[in-house]
Amino acid sequence: MSNQEYDVIIVGAGAAGLATARTLFDHGYNLVILEARDRVGGRAHTNYDLLHGHPLELGGEFIHGQHAPTHELVQSFGYSTLQVPRKETLRWGEPAQVAISLEQLSEPRRSRLLALYTAYTDLLRSTPQTDQSLASYFLGLGFTPDEVNIADILFAQTCCAPIDKLSCLDLIHEAQRDRAGQSDFRVRQGYSALFARYSESLPIKYQRVVAQIEWAQGSVTVHTRVGGIFKARRCVITVPIGVLQHGDLQFIPDLPLSKQQAIATYRMEGATKLIYLFDQPMWDADLAYMARVGQVARWWTPTYQMEAPLAGLTAFLTAGSARVLDDLPEADALLLGLQEASELLGVGMTILQSHLQHQMRISWAHDPFTRGGYAYIPVDGTPARAEMCQPVEHTLYFAGEAYATMSNPQTVHGAMESGWAVAHTILQDR
Ligand SMILES: Cc1cc2nc3c(=O)[nH]c(=O)nc-3n(C[C@H](O)[C@H](O)[C@H](O)COP(=O)(O)OP(=O)(O)OC[C@H]3O[C@@H](n4cnc5c(N)ncnc54)[C@H](O)[C@@H]3O)c2cc1C
């Protein structure tokens, strides 16, 4: 056991942990970050090998919003972003057909898709008193089950949630507080480069899997699986909610019942990427986003407007779709994805396979330090977020994407804002 007693121990060096640590460290706090992996960034993880130095995002990929605070970090390090017109240029694929722009769709189909978008926007601006699932909202407006299935792909899967569970009140709460905006961007240098710079000089101990947190007011002893015991006056826990739900961290004594109930309220489903790299683009340069009703429904081009040596295509699956693909052997999952891409692009399998240089599946549900994609709130669960933001006896604090209450949870910038908020609570609570 180290004899040193820290002001604060931060568990996890993802976006939230680093945001908390950076703020407190810059205010002179004596702290340590205990991180299970051998890198920073958590669910933001960039591969630089496959595209010979160019970034390929395996987890968090976009900056959601032109006003997201991440832009300030990007600029402060002399990095830059690339705007990606995803929602604006969506191409939709009817069964067994090539994906085409909404303008090219048949009139009845286009107007129904646009009606879904309008209804979703109306929902986010509304102020209902009672909660319901997103599916029941669309059904209540007279949309057919097939159309609700499309809404699942376009809206609920983005939230890593099944449409029949996702809380409308929580979506509204989030939409009415988040000021980030609607445009999407990629960090040209990759999220990992950003977090490498942001974490420079922070005291991080890697490969420290925290297993147990013994606490009393004003005193915390953190036990790692291998790598020692650490003591502090306070502890900020930033591990994903899936890790907490799985019981990977034991609290002695148990957390207060209100915290346990809040943790149990959240849902964390899988998020899986299928990534294909080709020796040349099998699509036109404007393709940024396409979707269809299918097992592998949502696709984008990670090398969009990038001078990369290979052309990339990513399928992003969440919730039930991710589970199905995760349960298949990797080769079968990748083959299924490629078959659906072949239909969407109108390019034969033989041609796609002859140009394919690399393919891989990344299943975040199988990652023991994540145990899912990102957390959503089911019907009637909204108060859980505020509960998790309450410190426990000025000693235990929770930060992470799931606890962003004043911005967009489920995102990198939401996680950072949650981390900054906890840091400011601690600063005021000296
Ligand atoms: C596939 C995918 C795509 C996404 N796409 C986007 C996107 O395009 N844009 C966007 O803004 N967001 C996206 N997100 C969400 C975004 O990545 C997350 O919201 C954000 O990175 C979460 O940050 P965090 O700090 O809350 O958690 P994490 O990044 O998960 O950090 C938690 C840290 O705790 C560590 N840890 C876990 N258990 C222990 C333990 N026992 N002991 C010590 N350390 C531990 C982990 O290793 C990790 O480093 C995506 C996420 C996924 C999975």
pLDDT of residue 405: 87
pLDDT of residue 4: 80
Q: How far apart are CA 263 and CA 224, in angstroms?
A: 22
Cα-trace Rg, the chain:
22
C-alpha to C-alpha distance for 18 and 11, rounded to whole angstroms? 10
Q: What's the rounded Cα separation, in Å, for the pair 390 and 396?
A: 9
**Would you list the domain boundaries of the chain?**
5-40+199-267+374-428, 103-177
- Please report the pLDDT score of residue 81 as a whole number: 98
Query: Which is it for the CA torsion 278, 279, 283, 284, positive or negative?
Result: positive
Taking the C-alpha atoms of residue 248 and residue 198, their distance in angstroms, rounded to an integer, is 28
Residue 153 DSSP symbol: I
At 109, list the tokens.
């189909």
Mean pLDDT within 172-188: 94
Q: How confident is the model at residue 122 (pLDDT cuts 50, 70, 90)?
A: very high
The string of DSSP codes covering 104-140 is GS-HHHHHHHHHHHHHHHHHHH---SS--BHHHHHHH
Closest protein CA for atom 10 of ligand 1: 411
Give the model's confidence band at 171: pLDDT under 50 very low, under 70 low, under 90 confident, else very high.
very high
Summarize pLDDT for 126-139 with one digit per residue, the tens.
999 999 999 999 99
Residue 416 and residue 60 in contact, taking contact as beta carbons nearer than 8 Å: no
Q: What CA–CA distance (Å, rounded) separates 410 from 85? A: 20
Residue 114's Cα: distance from chain center in Å? 26
Instruction: Please write the tens of the pLDDT for every residue from 238-294.
Output: 999 999 999 999 999 999 999 999 999 999 999 999 999 999 999 999 999 999 999
Kindly tell me if the per-residue pLDDT of 40 is higher than 80. yes
When mean pLDDT is compared across 49-58, 85-94, 365-374, the lowest value belongs to 85-94
Q: How far apart are CA 365 and CA 354, in angstroms?
A: 31
CATH number corresponding to 5-40+199-267+374-428: 3.50.50.60
pLDDT-derived band of residue 1, with 50, 70 and 90 as boundaries?
Answer: low
240 lines ligand 1 (CB under 6 A): yes
Would the CB of 242 count as within 6 Å of ligand 1? no
Ligand 1 proximity of 412 Cβ (cutoff 6 Å): yes
Q: Summarize the confidence of residues 66-74 as an average pLDDT.
A: 97
Pocket of ligand 1 contains residue 51 by CB under 6 Å: no
Q: Is the CB of 277 under 6 A from ligand 1?
A: no
Q: Is the torsion defined by CA of 183, 184, 189, 190 positive or negative?
A: positive
pLDDT value at residue 3: 67
Protein residue with least CA distance to atom 31, ligand 1 = 14
Atom of ligand 1 nearest to the CA of 12: 34
Contact (Cβ atoms closer than 8 angstroms) between residue 45 and residue 192: yes
Secondary structure (3-state) at 312: strand
Check if 213 has its Cβ closer than 6 Å to any atom of ligand 1: no
Per-residue confidence (pLDDT) for residue 234, from 0 to 100: 98
390-423 pLDDT tens trace:
999 999 999 999 999 888 999 999 999 999 999 9
Q: From the CB of 248, is ligand 1 less than 6 Å away?
A: yes
- pLDDT the model gives residue 2: 59
Sorted by sequence, the CB contacts under 8 Å of residue 174 that are 6+ apart come out as 408, 409
For the chain, what is the mean pLDDT?
Answer: 96
Interval 50-58 mean pLDDT:
97
Rounded to whole angstroms, the Cα distance separating 422 from 275 reads 35
> What pLDDT, on the 0 to 100 scale, is given for residue 128?
93
Angle at 49 between CA 48 and CA 53, to 5 degrees: 55
Q: What is the average pLDDT across 340-358?
A: 97
Q: What is the pLDDT, as a whole number, of residue 73? A: 97
Q: What is the pLDDT of residue 88?
A: 87
Give CA–CA dist 156/164, Å, rounded.
9
Q: Tell me: the pLDDT tens digits for 213-248?
A: 999 999 999 999 988 999 999 999 999 999 999 999
Pocket test of ligand 1: the residue of 10, 22, 33, 43 to mutate, having most ligand atoms within 8 Å of its CB, is 43
Question: Does the C-beta of 370 come closer than 6 Å to ligand 1?
Answer: yes
Q: Whose CA is nearest to atom 35 of ligand 1?
A: 12
Q: Are 10 and 236 in contact (CB under 8 A)?
A: yes
* Percentage of residues in the chain having pLDDT higher than 90: 95
Distance CA 136, CA 97 (A): 29
Q: What pLDDT, on the 0 to 100 scale, is given for residue 209?
A: 98
pLDDT for res 87: 84
Sign of CA dihedral 159, 164, 167, 172: positive
